[in-house]
Amino acid sequence: MKFPVKTIAVDNFKTDGVAICIFENELAKGPSASINKSLKGHLKRAMKAQSFTGKEGQVLSINTLGLHKAGAIVALGLGKEKYLTTEKIRRAAASGASAMLKAGISNFAVDLASKSLNKITPAILAQAVVEGVYLTSYSFDSLKSEKEKKKIDSVTLLSGKKGDEAKVKNGAKKGMILAGSACFARDLINLPGNVVTPSYMAEQAKKIALKHRMRCSVLGPGAIKRLKMGGLAGVARGSKEPARFIILEWMKGDKSQKPIVVVGKGLTFDTGGISLKPSGDMHEMKSDMSGGAAVLGILQAAAMLKLKVNLVGLVPATENMPGGQATKPGDVLTAMSGVTMEILNTDAEGRLILADGLAYAGRYKPDCVIDIATLTGACMVALGSHASGLFSNNEKLLNQILQSGEETGERLWPMPVWQEHEDDLKSDVADLKNIGPRGGGASTAAAFLKKHVKGKWAHIDIAGTAYSNKMSHYIKKGGVGLGVRLMIDFIEKRAKL
């Protein structure tokens, strides 16, 4: 997919279709006024007939019948200008792309001119448009004999000013990198568990490192045992697939700069182990490595953007299977941190492998550590699929991540980790038990992770947001690729890039 940039008025550009954005009750302003004049009032009549007022989410498609250089016009409602956000632009762009695809148009333009856009710069505007188009155009058909036929080939961004052209190009390039890296993560999530094994994830990490000249280390069972990663080794015991601990290092910042470490849960398939899950929808447990997929996407995006930052990605990767050697309820494992963990439910395994990832992160003496994981059904019950849960031991860090969530459309909601949640995990035979009472499960899981952390830390529970069972805006059914755009925005702000 290409996103060329042209400095030309919408009425002078010949194309199969053009998308224009309209604020609520401002139909007579900007490109809509000149287009309506070209169409001899047809646009205004169509809007009236279909009650199009420019409200957020409204879409109107019309054929210009040869009266305009664009074969079709797609009007997109942005709502009231004072409430405009980049997420609304992203969603509008996705709606426009979907309307074009429905009409069989694979080459079209998006008008970016004549918009003050509530302090949104031309670069950010272009980035949001490209992300919306790119993400909604994603399809996973690599395993199908018949591929998706309707695809977008080219979207021309019509810039309003000569001086804005370079900014729009830079924004478009960044949008392509971020959306492309999110779609890379989507592919990993959507591929089945017999393809995406811990070894496969490690190979993908090696390819990223080789292509972008970053350091990659992959630890196998022997090294995992030597490092006393009892959580990862214990979960892996029930599977014939050997565990992998993946390390990616992008150290392009100042030598004095402490690295940001992101840790992703890489559970490539989760049966629940001896505490076996119900069979219904178990096939979706191929997505339990969504956090790990996000970490690989984050490191890829950081390299492609050439961020001058010190960044480390860690992915403890394994399957959770009920084999003859599998960890049993009542067993006690010792994490790399030295904390002993009583296993009361083998389906609470994500926290066990993350415990070792978080302990390993401490070796870097990091600025902060953020883990991303499909961790608890409890978080899904609390927040549904509308937001990820955010937990932290540092208020400033928490607020920075929240802000990035709002700007990228990957929303989060702050959740507590109180002393009472830590007390709920006290074990009679070990330092911790791996589950607490039924209530507050997302917070007790976060409290479990906190025991293995030194320094500033945040935990993002994406159990309800990593995988979608329906289309919504630019989210397709299947893997969402959540966390890539969120973390890059956060990293840039944290490192003041």
Amino acid at 36: N
Note whether 497 and 308 are within 8 A (CB).
yes
CATH value at residue 104: 3.40.220.10
Residues acting as catalytic residues? 277, 351
Q: For residue 168, is it within any domain?
A: no
Cα–Cα distance measured from residue 265 to residue 268, given in angstroms and rounded to the nearest whole number: 9
Cα–Cα distance measured from residue 277 to residue 345, given in angstroms and rounded to the nearest whole number: 11
Token pair, residue 460, equals: 């993002």
* Residue 497 clears pLDDT 60, i.e. is over it: yes
pLDDT for 30 equals: 73
Q: Are residues 110 and 222 in the same domain?
A: no
pLDDT for 370 equals: 98
Q: For residue 266, is it within any domain?
A: yes
pLDDT for 474 equals: 96
273, β-bridge pairs = none
CATH value at residue 451: 3.40.630.10
pLDDT for 307 equals: 98
Distance in Å from the first CA to the final CA of the chain: 28
Q: Are residues 301 and 393 in the same domain?
A: yes
| Residues 222-229, mean pLDDT to the nearest whole number | 98
* Residue 332 clears pLDDT 70, i.e. is over it: yes
Q: Are residues 366 and 413 in the same domain?
A: yes
The model's confidence at residue 441, banded by pLDDT at 50, 70 and 90, is very high
Q: Are residues 32 and 144 in the same domain?
A: yes
pLDDT for 376 equals: 98
Note whether 412 and 402 are within 8 A (CB).
yes
Q: For residue 171, is it within any domain?
A: no
Note whether 54 and 144 are within 8 A (CB).
no
To which H or E segment does residue 493 belong?
A: helix 484-494
Question: What pTM was estimated for this model as a whole?
Answer: 0.97
Q: Are residues 328 and 383 in the same domain?
A: yes
15, β-bridge pairs = 70
Note whether 264 and 291 are within 8 A (CB).
yes
Q: Are residues 195 and 247 in the same domain?
A: yes
Of 131, 160, 189, which one is at a domain's C-terminal end? 160
Q: Are residues 123 and 222 in the same domain?
A: no
* Residue 271 clears pLDDT 80, i.e. is over it: yes
pLDDT for 133-148, tens place per residue? Answer: 999 999 999 999 988 8
To the nearest whole number, what is the mean pLDDT of the chain?
Answer: 96
Q: For residue 165, is it within any domain?
A: no
Q: Are residues 317 and 252 in the same domain?
A: yes
Q: For residue 296, is it within any domain?
A: yes
Q: For residue 154, is it within any domain?
A: yes
Q: How many domains does the chain have?
A: 2
Q: Are residues 116 and 207 in the same domain?
A: no
Q: Are residues 197 and 139 in the same domain?
A: no
Q: Are residues 106 and 187 in the same domain?
A: no
The model's confidence at residue 116, banded by pLDDT at 50, 70 and 90, is low
pLDDT for 163 equals: 83
Q: Are residues 154 and 207 in the same domain?
A: no
* Residue 426 clears pLDDT 70, i.e. is over it: yes
Looking at the chain, the whole-number percentage of residues with pLDDT higher than 90 is: 92
Note whether 115 and 125 are within 8 A (CB).
yes
* Residue 52: domain span: 5-160
